[in-house]
């Protein structure tokens, strides 16, 4: 009987961990999408223009970790 309880508890913990993994993966996907939207060239050009600046292709670098 206690073995069944232990197995049930382990299964519930595994399910909880899998749910957390899925949630974290979804959050990461959403964050990547937000980053891509923030790095959108048109958006950056609009911000630069609004602040009296311009973008020069030769001076732009994308750095990824």
Quote the pLDDT of residue 2.
85
Specify the higher pLDDT residue, 55 or 11: 11
Q: For residue 62, give the nearest of 42, 39, 29, 43 by alpha carbon.
A: 39
Q: Which residues of 12-42 are buried (b: 16+ CB within 10 A; e: fewer)?
A: eeeeeeeeeeeeeeeeeeeeeeeeeeeeeee
Quote the pLDDT of residue 55.
76
* Residues 12-60 pLDDT 10s: 999 999 999 999 999 999 999 999 999 888 898 899 899 998 877 776 6
CA 36 and chain centroid, separation: 10
């Amino acid at each position: 009987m206690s073995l069944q309880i232990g197995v049930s508890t382990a299964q519930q913990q595994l399910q909880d961990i899998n749910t957390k993994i899925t949630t974290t993966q979804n959050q990461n996907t959403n964050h990547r999408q937000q980053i891509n939207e923030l790095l959108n060239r048109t958006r950056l050009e609009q911000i630069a223009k609004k602040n009296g600046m311009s973008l020069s292709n030769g001076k732009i670098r994308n750095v990824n970790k």
